[in-house]
Chains A and B, each alone.
Chain A
């Protein structure tokens, strides 16, 4: 088990930022995001013993992350749109004349939360560089369906962002 623990620790090290970023799309509050992140890690640890490696670790982990997030937000009501704040952004050399990165990322999160649920799930996975095949494995949709949805959701989000940034 020690060896398994070491492998698991390394897998978490490799994927923790991506897992946390997915959590961020579902919740606005920093504390709630941390709670969700922690709950996701516990579920990953619980499931790791039965993880058979049929899919890659990241696909399996993202599936658990999305499902844990859905269970979490259905308990805590939907996305809390008020008081959006983001503290963990590492950003320097801001262009003072334009909208700051922090504000822009907040806006991105806010606009993603306005998308229909499935688009929101898909976009959160696209932004973490998952392929259509991986997203299909995570959501249970067909690959062709996922490709169409990615295209539609991206266009929708781009338009929303352009509107929000002007």
Chain B
């Protein structure tokens, strides 16, 4: 069998019917419906979190306006800022989902792919202020509602060490995730780029 003949035979290969749970084989039209549904679910999931937190912020703002205590106002304000940051984090997630990386030329795509797989992304960094603002807010609100003795306040301040540990742990888990999921991909991408560069010379 000559090469050209074989190549022409490969064109007999047809795309398979795709199976979907509970719906058997899919026609192209229903496949698009399915794709649209998957796409919409992810988008609505992110938007739902944003709406929920926006609702919380509205409630907190009403408390802030109605409250006459400065400490409560500062506490509620602090928690509101944390919730606004959560909305921002979700917006970054939405933008990342919305952006299609794979419609770039292959070389550009590979270089970009490496850049996107950083250990700590803006989303990871935003977690720190979220934790801190919630913590400050809760401390201010609690100290105003329950007038505590001085030594209890000191104990609470000491407990902040746990917050620091939690933040360190959060970063460490982000690093472990990166090491498990992204590092092998980066190594593989480097190999691909090296492959291409070797060919290019």
Contact = CB atoms under 8 A, between A and B. Distances in A.
B97 to A, nearest CB: 8
The main secondary structure of chain A at its interface with chain B is: helix
Interface residues of B, number: 43
Interface stretch (B57-65, B100-108, B132-140, B171-179): B100-108
Interface of B: 1, 3, 6-7, 9-16, 18, 28-29, 31-32, 35-36, 38-39, 100-110, 113, 184-185, 188-189, 192, 195-196, 198-200
Nearest to A153: B199
A140 B107 contact: yes
A89 B188 CA distance: 31
A161 B102 contact: no
B13 A108 contact: no
A42 B97 CA distance: 12
The main secondary structure of chain B at its interface with chain A is: helix
A64 B7 CA distance: 23
Contact of B103 (A41, A60, A149): A60
B103 A90 contact: no
Nearest to B108: A140
A28 interface: no
Interface string A126-138: 0100000000011
B180 to A, nearest CB: 12
List of 7 A-B pairs having minimum Cβ-Cβ separation, nearest first: A140-B105, A20-B15, A67-B102, A74-B188, A47-B100, A140-B107, A117-B195
